[in-house]
Amino acid sequence: MLDILMAGGWAMLPILVCSLVALAIVLERCWTLRRKAVLPPGLGEEVRQWARAGQLDPKHLEALSNGSPLGELLAAALAVRSQSRELIKERIEDTGRHIVHEMERYLSTLGTIALIGPLLGLFGTVIGLIRMFMQVMAGGIGDPAKMAGGIGEALICTASGLTVAIPAYVLHRWFRSRVAGYCVQMEKQATALLDELTLSPPVTVRPRRTAATVAPNAG
């Protein structure tokens, strides 16, 4: 394997760097975007119970905000719970944009690697072909080994660039889809908490008892 990489020439160096960076991003995002780390099970219902019971002291809110992205979103709503529904909703939206930005961290870099991987492979291909033609110009076409070396270098670079780019592109799309799904779930939980904070329970109106309803009908 090392011999194949060395046969690709110096153009393999940026491809290898991109592959290492992509691997690091994938491992970090897989750990960070675990479902139980982003959306702890039962957290939304627990926070709504806190709101009903009035257990909203600063310690609860700080622990909630530092626990998970969903907790940060719900804590932002609870921090301004005494304000109007519009202001609470605006705070949720502002905090949500920040959370989405954090969940999408490094994904633009992964997408860039998926984009430039084939270009780096193409660059290595061109370098290999140029080297082959230079050797042909210097010594003629009597030595097939020199031509095979240039063609081999070109093909190795092309294959390496595609090997890095294809998984990076697939994982980039998968992570973006995962983040979008998390956003939908967090929006549902935030809306449920917003309703809990701003909508009062319906009041049952009982009919007034009058003398006519109390006294038996005469005749």
> How far, rounded to the nearest angstrom, does the alpha carbon of residue 210 sit from its chain's CA centroid?
64
CA dist., res. 143 & res. 159, Å (int): 25
Angle between helices 43-53 and 144-198 (to 10 degrees): 30
pLDDT, position 209: 54
CA dist., res. 78 & res. 215, Å (int): 52
> What is the number of alpha carbons within 13 Å of residue 142 lying toward its C-beta?
3
Distance (Å) of CA 183 to CA 33, 44, 105, 188, 217: 12, 14, 15, 9, 63
Contacts of 171 (CB under 8 A, 6+ apart): 22, 26, 110
pLDDT, position 183: 95
pLDDT, position 188: 94
pLDDT, position 140: 61
pLDDT, position 7: 62
CB 31 within 8 A of CB 175: no
Distance (Å) of CA 47 to CA 36, 67, 141, 142, 191: 16, 13, 77, 79, 13
pLDDT, position 94: 94
pLDDT, position 164: 93
Nearest to 102 by CA among 23, 191, 29: 29
Average pLDDT, the chain: 82
Each residue's pLDDT expressed in tens, for the chain with a length of 219 residues: 566 666 666 778 889 999 999 999 999 999 999 999 999 999 999 888 888 887 777 887 888 889 899 999 999 999 888 888 899 999 999 999 999 999 999 999 999 999 999 998 888 888 877 777 776 676 665 566 666 666 777 788 888 889 999 999 999 999 999 999 999 999 999 999 998 888 744 434 444 554 444 444 444
CA dist., res. 117 & res. 21, Å (int): 12
How do the domains of the chain map onto residue ranges? 2-198
Backbone angles phi, psi at 57, to 5 degrees: -75, 165
In this predicted model, what pLDDT tens digit does every residue of 78-99 receive, in sequence order?
A: 988 888 889 999 999 999 999 9
pLDDT, position 204: 40
